[in-house]
Amino acid sequence: MWTWFYKLASPPYVYSLAGAFAPWFFGLAALTLGFGVIDGLGFAPPDYQQGDAFRIIYVHAPGAWMSTFIYTLMAVAGAIGLIWRIKMGHAVAAACAPIGASFTVLALVTGSLWGKPMWGTYWAWDPRLTSELILLFLYVGVLSLRPAFEDAARGDRAAALLAIVGVVNVPIIHYSVVWWNSLHQAATVAKFGKPSIDAAMLWPLLSMLLGCMLFFGAVLCVRLRGEVLNRERQASWVRQALQ
Amino acid sequence: MMTHGSFWEMGGYARYVWPCFALAAVVLAWNVWSARRYHAAAQLRARRALIMEASVGDEQAS
């Protein structure tokens, strides 16, 4: 039963698996993101308080969700690489970092553009905004730390350690709106009980979230293939894979 | 559903809504471009390493 799991530690298996999954993920992501954008911009009703400005949620919330999800995955993959010395763990962590950083920038900038008409300011040192900014700094740290070492294995270990230590920021981001007084609204979907959003607004949001997950899967597969090749350049299977 | 005119105006919030969607498109496009470029560069490096290895093997044989 667990054979498939052990296979994930094998570079040639991961390389071919990522190549097989990537086009499916890209195709499904295009469908779900396309539906989400059309439904969210054209058919969802305007919010009774925020009017059409609420439509920013369809890019802001998936961006913010992806930023924390990818960071957590990066820390878990780094921990697998660090504890069990599985090279593919470090490869996944390295592939996650630039994608996660880009989604964090998306969350911060779209949040700022949403904040101006709703709060009257582009930026406030609010707990949610500040903890999300710290997440961006953590991504930048992980991205900078790995190539800072001449020995690639040491760079992997240092980046994994930073990612693991920084994962403490993920629950802080999520609960910042509960623990402290915040300008930011409380959770709408990711909470216990019924989502506090109308179904007509919720479906495009869920579609965008799913689309971003699939999109992440697709670009992770492509990046991971590059990571595996960079790490396994001398291996005999690479010759066969490239022919 | 919105009318064509009101769709682009976004209820007066067009200058906040459209830049957000434009940035999302840029982030997605950048991710696709950079991931493909990263993979292509890795393939190129691996191919060069294989060619170098083959040429060193030929020199040793001769």
What does the DSSP assignment read for A9-33?
Answer: T-HHHHHHHHHHHHHHHHHHHHHHH
Q: How confident is the model at residue A141 (pLDDT cuts 50, 70, 90)?
A: very high
Please, are residues A81 and A164 in contact by the beta-carbon 8 Å criterion?
no
User: What is the pLDDT, as a whole number, of residue A59?
Assistant: 97
Domain that holds residue A141: 21-242
Interchain contact A116–B (C-beta under 8 A): yes
The CATH number of the domain holding residue A100 is 1.20.120
The pLDDT assigned to A242 comes to 79
Q: At what angle do helices B14-61 and A199-231 cross, to 10 degrees?
A: 20
- Residue-wise pLDDT tens digits, A102-112: 999 999 999 99
Which of A76, A32, A45 has its CA nearest to residue A170?
Answer: A76
Note the pLDDT of residue A142.
Answer: 96
Q: How many domains does chain A have?
A: 1
Contact A42 B2 (CB under 8 A): yes
| Weakest mean pLDDT among A183-192, A232-241, B14-23 | A183-192
Residue A182 tokens read as 């915040």
Within 10 A of B52 (CB to CB), how many other CB atoms are there? 10
Stated pTM of the model: 0.92
Cβ distance of A43 and B38 shorter than 8 Å: no
pLDDT at A233: 82
Look at A223 and B20 and tell me if their CB atoms are within 8 Å: no
B9 found inside a domain: no
pLDDT number for residue A108: 97
Q: CA–CA separation, A48 vs A52, rounded Å? A: 9
- Chain A contact for B41, CB < 8 A? yes
> What kind and span of H or E run contains B57?
helix B14-61
CB contact under 8 A, B35 and A219: yes
Highest mean pLDDT among A181-185, A233-237, B33-37: B33-37
A179-219 residue pLDDT tens: 777 777 766 665 556 667 788 889 999 999 999 999 999 99
Domain assignment of residue B52, yes or no: yes
A205 touches chain B (CB under 8 A): no
Residue B35: inside a domain: yes
Percentage of residues in chain A with pLDDT exceeding 90?
71
Residue range A74-85, pLDDT digits in tens = 999 999 999 999
pLDDT in tens, A25-76: 999 999 999 999 999 999 988 888 888 899 999 999 999 999 999 999 999 9
The distance from CA A112 to its chain's CA centroid, rounded to whole angstroms, is 19
Whether the CB of B18 is below 8 Å from some CB of chain A: the reply is no
Q: What pLDDT score does B27 carry? A: 98
The structural domain count of chain B equals: 1
What is the average per-residue pLDDT within B26-53? Answer: 93
Q: Please report whether residue A16 resides in a domain.
A: no
pLDDT at A165 over 60: yes
Measured between alpha carbons, how far is residue A181 from residues A42, A151, A184, A190 in Å? 34, 45, 9, 19
pLDDT higher than 70, residue B8: yes
| The pLDDT of residue A197 | 78
3-state DSSP assignment of residue A51: strand
Is residue A72 packed enough to be buried (19+ CB in 10 Å), middle (13-18) or exposed (0-12)?
middle
Q: Is residue A222 part of a domain?
A: yes
Q: Which of A11, A9, A16 is nearest to A231 (CA)?
A: A11
Best mutation target among A37, A55, A216, A234 (most B Cβ atoms within 10 Å) is A55
**Would residue B13 count as lying in a domain?**
no
Q: For chain A, give the mean pLDDT.
A: 91
Inter-chain contact B16–A53, Cβ cutoff 8 Å? yes
A14 in any annotated domain: no
Structural domain that includes position B51: 19-61
Domain annotation covers residue A234: yes
Whether A3 is covered by a domain: the verdict is: no
Does the predicted interface ipTM exceed a cut of 0.95? Answer: no
